[in-house]
Structures are given as structure tokens and as C-alpha cells.
Amino acid sequence: MLAEFAHWWMSQMRTLAPGLLARARLPEDALIIAFDGLATGIEQAPAGTLLLRRQGSEGGLGMLDLTRPLPAGLPPHLATGLRLPPGAVLQREVVLPLAAGRDLTAVLGFEMDRLTPFTADEVYWSVAHLCHDRVRAKLQLTLSIALRTQVDSLRTALGRINVTPSFIETETGRLPLGTPGQQPGWRLQQALFALCGVLALTCLATPFLRQQMALDAAAQEIAGVMPAANHAQALRQQLTAAAQGRAAIAAARHAGDALQVLSVLTAALPDDTWLSDLTLKSGDLAFDGQSGNAAQLINLLSAVPGLRNPSFTAPVTRSSDGKADLFSLHVTVSE
């Protein structure tokens, strides 16, 4: 059942994957301010272009004018990002020990002056292309930095028209203008990722939980009828024992009634004949005794109903006084 469920789940995910991947590749909607150059002073007005990105497509809204507010009709709560001219954002590949991944923000903040010509307080920075090489115990990443003095001058100029950028667009993604090493809304993103993981685990576990619930319900039903089943089993055993007793009695009757057989023999044997031993077992009658004429016993017993195939089981001999024959006979008793 597990293999069948996995096959079904994978087939459903394949149908969803193309659309999900296509949406995941699209950059988020945002208002992008693309600067042609950087201002050399706070009072200098930077030149730039306003771009509106919707569903991966960008459209121009005109030149940046710090003397008037942004164009009307922009979507509410739209994130604002900066696109700096080439050379304003520096990037380099960094290799760290794998253990640095436990607190990457603190490690990079401490090592910033070794990795770049600046301290962590002098730059905005972010990481991308994070790769854990567990074979070599190395952590590889791309570090992006932008000077705070240059970016803050742009943010001050944009503040005149009540525009607060939250990130800088780079070749590798976004460089947040907030806590170093964290993307905007990172707590919300982590919560959403955790929620997605919980939902995925729930989808995987639901069939097994339902099966376990069904098994528990069946176990409760079985426990409820178990006393009646045990009582029925006891009655069945009693009936079986009674039937076996009746069968044994019937078999004994079929083999012959010892008293009845003894009565038949008493009537059939002559007066000068008496028995010293008699055995009746499973329809076989064997007896020993003395008789004045043992040879005539075969004919006498053959004429008795219910007795068949009389025969001597040992040679007939004379008694010590010579007055009687000693014999051993076997007879089959039938109804």
C-alpha cells in the first residue's frame, strides 16, 4: 500500500511541478528604482528611472523626480528596491569551515574586515549560492556588499518623496537594507517554509493515520464482541465434547454389548462347557474354556445371529483328567 500511495503522490506532484516551478522563477512584484550613477553628496539629486515589475515583466514609469511624489495608481504595499549602477555592488566567493553554518551571520560579521576592505558596520551585505560540501567540511557562498555611505545617501534622497527602499537587487538575488545576512520578511518566509513542511508531512502521514484509526476502531469492535465470542466458543467446545461422547457410546454399541454377548454365549454353548476367560474389544470376541466336545462349538456359534467367523486360536487339548477339551476361540461380533 505504501508503494501505491508513493506512486500516486509523485504523479500528483508532477502535474503541479511545472506551474509551481514557473511561478517560483518569477521575481517578486516590486517598484524598482534604477540609478544611472551614485550621488557624491547628500544634497546632490541622483538620476534614475522608475520601473514597475509585475509577474516578471518590467514597465517604465518615467524618470525619477525627487521634487514630486511617485505616480498614482501603484499597487499598495509594493516593495521598493534599488538597482545600482555596475561596480556599486561588490561580490566575491567565500569558503568557510562547515561549522560556520551554525551562526553564519555572526561569523561573516566578525570576518568581514578580513574578507573585504570594509568592516561589517560600513556595508550592507547578504549571501547567496550557499553550498554545504560535507565531504571536504567546507561551506561555499557568494558574498555581496554595498557601501552604506553610498546607499544611505540614496535612501536620504528618496526619503524626500516618502520612498523607503527595502532591498538592493543584485545578480545573485536581493541585498536587504536591514539586518545583515537576512532577507526582508525572513521570519515570515521561514514560518511559511515550516508550514509547507508540516503540510507536506501531514499529506504523507494522513493515509497511515486513517488506516491506524480504522484499525483502532476495528480493535474496539472486536473487543466489544469478544465476550460473546468466548461464550460461543465455550458452548461449541461443550457440544463437541458431548458429540464425541455420543460417538464413543455409539462405537461401543457397534462393537457389541458385553452383557448381551455373554447372554448369547450362555444360551448357545452346551451345559458341559464353561468359560475361564473372555475379552471383547472393537467387535472381536476371544474366550477360553473347557468343553466336553470342543469341535461342535464351531457349528453352534456359526448358527448364532450376530456371531461370525468362529475359529480356534490355538490347538484343542485334553484336560489333565482327560474328561474335557481345552480350547481358545475367536468370534467376530456384529449387530
Quote the DSSP letter at residue 46.
P
Lowest-pLDDT range, 112-126, 180-194, 206-220, 274-288? 180-194
Lowest-pLDDT range, 83-92, 187-196, 278-287? 187-196
Nearest residue to 281 (alpha-carbon basis) of 248, 258, 263: 258
Looking at mean pLDDT, say which of 54-58, 127-131, 158-162, 301-305 comes out highest. 127-131
φ, ψ dihedrals at 247, nearest 5°? -65, -40
Query: Residue 187 above 70 pLDDT?
Result: no
* CATH classification (class only), 27-184: alpha beta
φ, ψ dihedrals at 168, nearest 5°? -115, 130
Give the pLDDT band (50/70/90) at residue 16: low
Average pLDDT score, the chain: 80
Tell me the percentage of the chain whose pLDDT exceeds 70.
83
Give the pLDDT band (50/70/90) at residue 190: low
Q: What is the pLDDT of residue 184?
A: 43
Mean pLDDT confidence for 13-40 = 65
- Where are the CATH 3.30.420 domain residues in the chain? 27-184
Given a contact cutoff of 8 angstroms between Cβ atoms, the answer to whether 321 and 279 are in contact is: no
Quote the DSSP letter at residue 305.
T
Q: What is the pLDDT of residue 287?
A: 86
Mean pLDDT confidence for 82-95 = 88
Radius of gyration of the chain (CA): 54
- Where are the CATH 3.30.1360.100 domain residues in the chain? 258-333
The domain over range 258-333 is classified in CATH as 3.40.50.300 = no
Report d(CA 167, CA 177) in Å as an integer.
5
Select the more confidently predicted residue: 14 or 100: 100
Select the more confidently predicted residue: 183 or 239: 239
Q: What is the pLDDT of residue 240?
A: 86
Given a contact cutoff of 8 angstroms between Cβ atoms, the answer to whether 308 and 323 are in contact is: no
Predicted confidence (pLDDT) per residue in 90-121, tens digit: 889 999 998 888 888 888 888 888 988 999 88
Q: What is the pLDDT of residue 2?
A: 61
What pTM, to 2 d.p., does this model score?
0.46
Tell me the percentage of the chain whose pLDDT exceeds 90.
2
Name the amino acid, one letter, at 155.
Answer: R
In DSSP notation, 174-193 reads EEESSSTT--TTHHHHHHHH
Distance of alpha carbon 127 from the chain centroid: 38
